Chain A
């Protein structure tokens, strides 16, 4: 089955700790994305990557970092510099003939205590 996996589904961290969220896709997509979702708001783009070893900041990149060493993987690190990290994080990918369409993983809910 092709798709996007995110792990874990729920994550708890203490304030001041860095935490890394996993995102893996087996759709052979070139582009991958990280979004943040807060209650009552639309999705906000954190980072995106169009190809391996390249990524660009989105609208709210401060306090986050990413890497894209493999086509399948696009991990997101939430650093201690992120002032309000508690949120629902969604990873997506796109590519192939339907480049406009983004396919989403199930999300990770991060709670910082």
Chain B
């Protein structure tokens, strides 16, 4: 069946470091892929998405490319800030509006 696997956290980086959070998936066909972010004590917000293979989603300096060859959708940012500290979730669309979620990766940015 469909599944999403994310790298375990926490990921701890210094401010201005380069960020990669790995996400791989198994799925039938080419479902839409998403990254959501959850700041402490809040609900989730959509960060970016890609709806077909080779698409690149981007928002707030974050990017992720839908790679069908490696079944991956890794999240990257060139220079992280303390305000990026949050939990990041990778997800893929199942049928009928349902999403399958990764376990989440906690990101800690130190000044």
Contacts and interface: CB of A to CB of B under 8 A. Distances in A.
A42 B89 contact: yes
Contact of B46 (A33, A50, A102): A102
A42 B42 contact: no
Interface size class of A (residues with CB under 8 A): 20 to 34
Contacts of A103: 46
Contacts of B13: none
B82 interface: no
Per DSSP, are chain A's interface residues mostly helix, strand or loop, or mixed? strand
Contacts of A104: 36, 43-45
A105 B93 CA distance: 20
Given A90-B44, A100-B32, A104-B44, A43 B101 contact: yes
18 contacts: A40-B103, A41-B103, A41-B104, A42-B102, A43-B99, A44-B101, A56-B96, A90-B43, A94-B97, A100-B51, A100-B93, A101-B49, A102-B44, A102-B99, A104-B44, A105-B43, A107-B41, A107-B43
